[in-house]
Amino acid sequence: MSNFDATRRTLLKATAATGGALAASQFLPGVTPQALAQGAMEPPAPLDVVLRVNGSERRLTLDPRTTLLDALREHLHLTGSKKGCDQGQCGACTVIVDGRRMTSCLTLAVMHEGHSITTIEGLGTPKNMHPMQAAFVKHDGYQCGYCTPGQICSAVAVLDEIRAGIPSHVSADLTAQPQATPVELRERMSGNICRYGAYSNIVDAITEVAGRRA
């Protein structure tokens, strides 16, 4: 890295911090922009947090800005949840929190103290697979496999949503019990992207598991 690159990066950081401080100081009488800029450049103090992951309590000390995804991958070494777009659009990081699916890249770890978090590692093991994992293998519901952990976590939660009577965008009757039809499954799984296009096989896998639960 050249001195110019380092200087430019420092300049950009200082400019952003100072600009934000100038704007904020208009709403904080008695606080100088210099004080705000200095505070903006200092990292927040770490926080102790207890996460209940896959049935076990895990105690961590985290920067409060740490996402749930980074806490799982970098601190707990549960690397099944994948970082794809890091913007909540691809679904590769999907986990199940208190029974509801969630894109873990868009939520902070400290927000989930005391919540029940299930990752792909908590659903099953190679020797004792969850029915959804076994169905994905049987129906070849994956290609490269990168998105598969998020697909499976989402699929498990989708069937729970249907069983709970939660309608989707394509539900014709919002008061009727939803059914695990291909149209419903495709709509509910639309937030999980497979760049290789294994969607038909994924629907077949979910349909099989839905039939077992019926």
- Cα-Cα end-to-end distance for the chain: 60
- Is the confidence at residue 211, as pLDDT, over 50? yes
Count other C-beta atoms under 10 Å from residue 60's C-beta. Answer: 18
Q: Model confidence at 11, in pLDDT bands (50, 70, 90)?
A: low
Residue with tokens 């873990």: 104
The dihedral sign for the CA sequence 86, 88, 94, 100: positive
How far is residue 147 from each of residues 37, 84, 150, 209, measured CA to CA in Å? 40, 8, 6, 19
Alpha helices, DSSP H only, in the chain? 3-25, 33-40, 68-70, 120-123, 131-138, 148-163, 182-188, 199-213
Taking the C-alpha atoms of residue 147 and residue 84, their distance in angstroms, rounded to an integer, is 8
pTM here? 0.80
Greater confidence, 40 or 32?
32
DSSP state at residue 140 = T
Closest CA relative to residue 107, chosen from 156, 49, 43, 158: 49
Q: What average pLDDT does range 207-213 have in this prediction?
A: 88
What pLDDT, on a 0 to 100 scale, did the predictor assign at position 212?
75
Count CB atoms within 10 A of the CB of residue 113.
13
